[in-house]
Structure formats: C-alpha cells, structure tokens
Amino acid sequence: MQMDTTELGAVLKRLRRAQGQIGGVIKMIEEGRDCREIVTQLAAVSKALDRAGFAVIATGLRQCVTAVDVEDPELDVAELEKLFLALA
C-alpha cells in the first residue's frame, strides 16, 4: 500500500532533521566528545524517529483501515497492531 507523500511532508521534514542529528552524533564520536553529550543527542534522535513513525501511523491509519476492507484483505487489524507495536 502506498501512502500519499504530500500528507507526509511533516514526517519527511522530521526525518531529515533526524538525519542531520545522526551526522552530528557521528561527528561528536569522532571528535571524542563527552559521553553524556553523545547520549543526549542519541536520545533526541531516537525520539525524533519515534515521532516520525507515530506520525506515519496517524497519517495512514485511515488509509490502512480502508485498505483492509478493499485493497488488501491480508492487512488485518492484527497486522496494523503489529506495525504500531514495532515502534514501541
């Protein structure tokens, strides 16, 4: 199932920000920065990725539920729950 990329603009922005944060973490490690600073940045990246995942679910849930009934009978409620819990 394809999701509408125009609806996911905020998610893409969030993922690009996380991509930059990951680059920053790599640079911090290469520079030998303090462990606490690195862990703080890693936590920020993790939170950004979690929020992006939740936003994808929120944006696509209606579309996914419709697909269960129409386009993809294999995508049932249990599968949707599995996708959601993969982010937990």
* CATH number of the domain residue 37 falls in: 1.20.58.1000
Kindly report the pTM of this predicted structure. Answer: 0.68
Report if residue 3 sits inside a domain.
no
Domain that holds residue 52: 10-85
Say if CB 54 and CB 8 are below 8 A apart: no
Report if residue 56 sits inside a domain.
yes
CA 64 to chain centre: 16
Q: First CA to last CA across the chain, in angstroms?
A: 22
Report if residue 1 sits inside a domain.
no
Report if residue 2 sits inside a domain.
no
pLDDT tens digits for range 13-68: 999 999 999 999 999 999 999 999 999 999 999 999 988 888 887 777 766 666 55
Report if residue 35 sits inside a domain.
yes
* 72, containing H or E segment: none
d(CA 8, CA 58): 10
pLDDT tens digits for range 56-66: 877 777 666 66
> Total domain count for the chain?
1
